Amino acid sequence: MDRRVEAPAPGAQAPIQDGARVLADWPDVLKRVQTLSGVSDTQFMATYQPLLLAWAAYLQHLPDPAGAGVTLLETRLRQAEVVLARRRGVILPVGGDPEQAARQADVWTYAVFSVALLRQIGAALAPLAVVLWSSSGQALGRWGPETQPRGLAHVRRAAAYSVYPVPAGACRDWTWLVAGALLPNTARNWLWREPAVFDLWKQALVAPALPAPLRGMFDGFLLIPPQGATS
């Protein structure tokens, strides 16, 4: 059974966990995601699971600035489940012939799934300041996605973190850097072999508005950069 974990209160220290431990609270959602992916167990283990583990280790239980007490991981994970369910009723590419749609079905599904996890994630974290701590309680400074793009779990000596809201203002959207750090090579090569899918996927990660072919699947989700964000 899934167990909802609230984001730490501002200034409270939370332990840094590996991706598997973070995701352990969401077994039911993960099972549904695997079923909705429609791929074999081998393909899921090679492409979906490595991204999920790296993504969870990256986000930890950082809060979603758009929801009180809700983690960004929960928001995006539940969104990914819904988007995958909607994907089943959409034929991609729009206007493509049936043979092309069948051949590219799995890679389009993966593109949609990874966009649900990663879209504008750099901008989504911009309203947060994350301070790192050692196991002995020594402050290690503020985490920066531009210098540590694989996330808190990969910072040497970091054992805990605390998070504070920061005033909105102009910022860089580090989504490209994050996606490059978290996406497994197998999945990156899979997308790259389908140029039309890859180009639309790249656009969907950072564009202010989702490309038309994907927009309907994301209706109802607020996925726009915070005010003042720049790409």
- With a pLDDT cut of 90, the percent of the chain lying above it is 71
Amino acid type, 156: R
pLDDT at 3: 86
Q: Is the pLDDT of residue 170 over 80?
A: no
The token pair at 84 is: 């995958």
Find out whether 146 and 2 touch, Cβ atoms under 8 Å: no
> pLDDT confidence of 2, banded at 50, 70, 90?
confident
**Is 8 contained in some domain?**
no
Q: Is the pLDDT of residue 229 over 70?
A: no
**Is 81 contained in some domain?**
yes
Tell me, what CATH number does 145's domain have?
1.10.3210.40
Residue range of the domain that includes 220: 14-230
Q: Is the pLDDT of residue 72 over 50?
A: yes
What's the structural domain count of the chain?
Answer: 1
- Quick: pLDDT tens for 93-135: 887 788 888 899 999 999 999 999 999 998 888 899 999 999 9
- DSSP classification of residue 153: G
pTM given for the model: 0.92
**Is 5 contained in some domain?**
no
**Is 3 contained in some domain?**
no
Between the CA atoms of 99, 104, 109 and 112, what dihedral angle is there, to the nearest 10 degrees? -110
